[in-house]
Amino acid sequence: MIARASFLERYYLSRTGVVGLIILMLVIVMAVFGPILYPVDPWEMVARPLQWPSLGSENPLGSDVLGRDVLSGLVNGARVSLIIGISATAAAVTIGVTIGALAGYFRGFIDDVLMRITEVFQTIPNFLFVIVLVAVFRPSVFTISTAIAVVSWPAVARLVRGQFLTLRQRAFVESCVVIGMSTPRIIFTQILPNCMAPVIVTSSIMIATAILIEAGLSFLGLGDPNVMSWGAMIGFGRQSLRTAWYLTLIPGVAIQLTVLSISFVGEALNDALNPRL
């Protein structure tokens, strides 16, 4: 209980962390309840094309070239961004923790092989690799999340391996070995919980990066064709950039605010979880 209270206290020391958390909560609420509270189909033509945003009108954020509602696109896009950001990160963390833990615990030959593989995935230019994977396996929320996970796990693997290498030498782990605790139990109940703090911080940054990658993909026309996403909205809006730049501005600000808030939360978590800094 004491540890928990001091963690929250340390978190609230960061002003940007609190601001980030508030914005992030708003985005999450928008993603979860938005499509229910504002049930306009983002693909349907509901207004005259290219209406500028005006409060109080039927389409508060205006309409695009095809008369589709911008606010509806924004609300539905929040869902897609968060789903892809979270699922890609969850998958990447699972792969990364597994490989990092195996390499760091067993060392030697296993470590060499796993680290060589990690190096390979770190060398291939990330975004290009994602483009190739999504293009080859056809874009969908699943393939996009998987492709992002495939390129993002090495950072976690290296981090976890480093933690395991040092923690394995510590007395509390050696005493577990001495009392005959099984290897999986040592890994899962002793070492892993002790290296979760940096993993949590890294994952928050990975969610932000995943959202940026997804935006880039759907901007290039490689998004899931069945869902409206922020990047795709910018891609559509780009054609009327000179006359109707609000179509590009609005979803871009949404991406920026979301990513910024996640980064702020990540930074505050880092300060709160590593009090020595």
Which residues of this chain interact with other proteins, rule CB under 8 A?
Answer: 16, 116-117, 119-120, 122-133, 135-138, 208, 212, 215-216, 219-222, 231, 234, 238, 241-242, 245, 248-249, 252, 255-256, 259-260, 263-264, 267
In terms of Cβ atoms closer than 10 Å to its own Cβ (0-12, 13-18, 19+), residue 154 is buried
Instruction: Identify which of residues 151 and 192 has a Cβ nearer to other proteins in the complex.
Output: 151
CB of 26 to other proteins, least distance (A): 16
Instruction: Identify which of residues 190 and 261 has a Cβ nearer to other proteins in the complex.
Output: 261
164-195 burial, b if ≥16 CB within 10 A, otherwise e? Answer: beebbeeeebeebeeeeeeeeebbeebbbeeb
Residue 57's region, left for phi above 0, alpha for psi from -120 to 50, else beta, is beta
CB of 220 to other proteins, least distance (A): 6
Instruction: Identify which of residues 97 and 259 has a Cβ nearer to other proteins in the complex.
Output: 259
Contact 59, 81 (CB under 8 A): no
Instruction: Identify which of residues 4 and 116 has a Cβ nearer to other proteins in the complex.
Output: 116
CB of 44 to other proteins, least distance (A): 25
CB atoms within 10 A of CB 90: 15
CB of 168 to other proteins, least distance (A): 21
Contact 72, 126 (CB under 8 A): no
CA distance 30 to 258: 11
Q: Which residue has the tokens 């590009």?
A: 248
CB of 85 to other proteins, least distance (A): 13
CB of 258 to other proteins, least distance (A): 8
Instruction: Identify which of residues 50 and 196 has a Cβ nearer to other proteins in the complex.
Output: 50
Instruction: Identify which of residues 47 and 234 has a Cβ nearer to other proteins in the complex.
Output: 234
Contact 31, 79 (CB under 8 A): yes
